[in-house]
Amino acid sequence: GRGIAAKEGQVSKCLIVAEKPSVAGDLAKALGNFRRNQTWYERDDAIIAAARGHLIEIGFNEEEDARWELASLPVIPERFELKVIAGASGEVKTLRSLLGRSDVSTVVNACDAGREGELIFGLVYEYLRCRKPVKRLWMQSMTMESIRTAYGQMRDGKAFAALLEAARSRSEADLLIGANGTRALTKLQQTRSDARDLVSVGRVQTPTLAMVVAREAERTNFRAREFWEVHGTFQSAGGEYTGRWVNPAWQKSADEASRADRVWDKAQAEAIARKCQGVTPTEVREETKPVASAPPRLFDLTSLQREANSKWGLSAKTTLDCAQALYEKHKALTYPRTDSTALPEDYLPTVKETLGQLSDAPYGDYTREVLAGGWVKADKRIFDSSKVTDHFAIIPTGKAPGDLSQAEARVYDLVTRRFIAAFFAPAEYRQTTRETVVQGEIFRSEGRVLINEGWLRVYGRAAGESDEQGLAAVKPGERVANHTIAVVGKETQPPARHTEATLLAAMEHAGRQVDDEAMREAMKERGLGTPATRAAIIEGLLSAKKGLLLRQGKELVPTPKGMALVQFLVTQGLHALTSPRMTGEWEHKLRRIEQGELTRAAFMHEVRSMTEALVRQVKQQAGPGLSGANKTRTSAVCPKCGGQMLADGRQAVCEKGDFRLWREVAGRQLDEEELATLLRDRSLGPRDGFRSKAGKPFRAGLVLGSNLDRIDFVFEGGL
């Protein structure tokens, strides 16, 4: 829309809206000459004000909020209500006042540079019915210089319309599926038992929980199998080494536990040992080849969270909080909520500058080596603009951080070493595979030695080191001695429980097992949630309120409540709520909205259809019949077939099983006469005694929907 012109003689100002007060303070400091004015900053041409994260949320109106009965579901509003979040009225009032000023002609969205930041600003802008033109301040780094650069390169807000549509669609999809699923399943559970617990489900939360429960079920159902290995210990002039008997004819099979060195029959293993015991090997065959290990890719948020969990046991949330503080407070890292592991192709000069600034211990020796060697050059593994969307990989800014907590220091060190290591050469190993032949039986040994440490030097490794399986040398033609042949009994092990590191990987790949880095990149768009939301989803499952997961050391363990929820959904055939792949496809569609390849209308049509199908499935599972012997005949008549209606305290059902209706509506039970009137006339005049979800009493009439599958409220004076 057109801006409101400033009054004659007034200087036109822009209102910059930051996501939180600390960022507003940084903007004022970086841009300069601002004076503090109550809760905002102001200078001649600009005002900076702050939100506190989300100020406005989408929701249902009061009538929709009250609809918890299965017959009245699904709740799918034509338009969602916008509501001020509890405790945010002060910020909203300030922004309303500032936006209304006649000297404010332009609004700048300086909220977090991503989907959620777009939504925080977009909902406030819509709620306050603002029509003034919008510009977007998109910050990759919070150093003073970066803020000033971003301010000089602001874009038209319209360029981010698709990002806002994706954010709004994600928010509405979560509400529709979460609210309808939770209400429908809570009621279904109540028909199956006396349980009155809330059955909490969510679009991303539930399939994530289902993956942890599936792993726990695998462990519970796992039956350990005994197997035997035959180990030989041999002596060469260079020292002692061990080898494991292998079956040269072994091939992969459907049995995942099968290996070339496993013998499933103890007698067979003992026979091999007897045959070879004390016999001098007739031949030692050896193959040695060089193996290179490229430096790992730069971090995106998920890979950083996985590494911090694996190495230091940090939770996904702790790592995100540390990375956010290192970005926002310490200005030492770039924007953390990214899913890119690449940098823009024009970023080489910035990288050289950053490496130059990292000159102090413990990084200076390595950064000087990179710069002196001219190792920063165009390399698609590092610089690839096609792999950069809203944000690039997490790297240091070059600014030395101040007083860091232990966790912050660890996260900073992980990112900085990964960044420096990216420009080093691959590490080179000499890998040896040795076969010692005794009586025609083969004993295999493997070992590797680091020849050129390459990027591993940044992590303190030195050339000449052997890995754990270092191998004593055998000269060509040398006869080796056979010390002992031993049979070792072992058992197959159950699959390990998920840690946050493995669960983040499973979320990123929607449950598919992916180890290859390139494949990981391709799978990202079909993951569960986004890098920015995964930590919150895991924390939500762990929260005492939901009580669905527990932390035991590094392991994530489903609670009995979490196990029961997923088992309940699976037995009811509600795979739309438990399937990681299906939810991953939804995330891919949201990404397509961001890229302008899919319309918001088409996506929301799918969401509504899925919500309707989910509720329909729950209603079918609830079934037309009434359990127990406490059903009684009523005077009410089935509107579908004219049969007699039977009822108990909660529901009424046609004696022929054709039709069913909940008697309890918004906390009020319909008596027999009211039930008969509603079914006969398809409506019932105003009644008192209904209660909203918040517990507030209200008065309303009822109408039976045209498909006879829902009850709607009619308020006096119209809908």
Q: Is 335 known to be catalytic?
A: yes
For residue 550, CA distances in Å to 308, 499, 556, 562, 570 come to: 19, 11, 6, 10, 21
- Identity of the amino acid at 276: C
**Whose CA is closest to 241, among 446, 18, 500?**
446
Omega cis (within 30) before 624: no
Determine contact, residues 154/107, Cβ cutoff 8 Å.
Answer: no
For residue 511, CA distances in Å to 157, 295, 580, 637 come to: 36, 26, 6, 50
Determine contact, residues 205/541, Cβ cutoff 8 Å.
Answer: yes
Q: CA–CA separation, 174 vs 201, rounded Å?
A: 10
* Pairing of the two strands 660-662 and 664-665: unpaired
Determine contact, residues 612/180, Cβ cutoff 8 Å.
Answer: no
Cite the beta strand spans of 378-426 per DSSP E: none
Which stretches within 455-599 are classed as H helix? 500-508, 517-523, 531-542, 560-571, 575-578, 580-594
Q: Is residue 368 helix, strand or coil?
A: helix
What does 593-614 look like in DSSP terms, one character per residue? HHTTSS-HHHHHHHHHHHHHHH
Q: What contacts 552, CB < 8 A, 6 or more positions away?
A: none
Query: Which one from 327, 335, 347, 366 is the annotated catalytic residue?
Result: 335
**Whose CA is closest to 211, among 458, 403, 437, 499?**
499
Determine contact, residues 339/114, Cβ cutoff 8 Å.
Answer: no
Give residue 118's Cα distance to chain centre.
19
Q: What contacts 145, CB < 8 A, 6 or more positions away?
A: none
Q: CA–CA separation, 508 vs 339, rounded Å?
A: 10
Bridge partners (DSSP) of residue 712 are 703
Give residue 515's Cα distance to chain centre.
18
432 φ/ψ angles, rounded to the nearest 5 degrees? -115, 130
* CA dihedral of residues 193, 195, 200, 201 (deg, nearest 10): -10
111 φ/ψ angles, rounded to the nearest 5 degrees? -75, 170
* CA dihedral of residues 551, 557, 559, 565 (deg, nearest 10): 130
For residue 167, CA distances in Å to 20, 48, 139, 162, 612 come to: 19, 24, 18, 9, 22
Q: CA–CA separation, 108 vs 262, rounded Å?
A: 66
Active-site residue set: 335
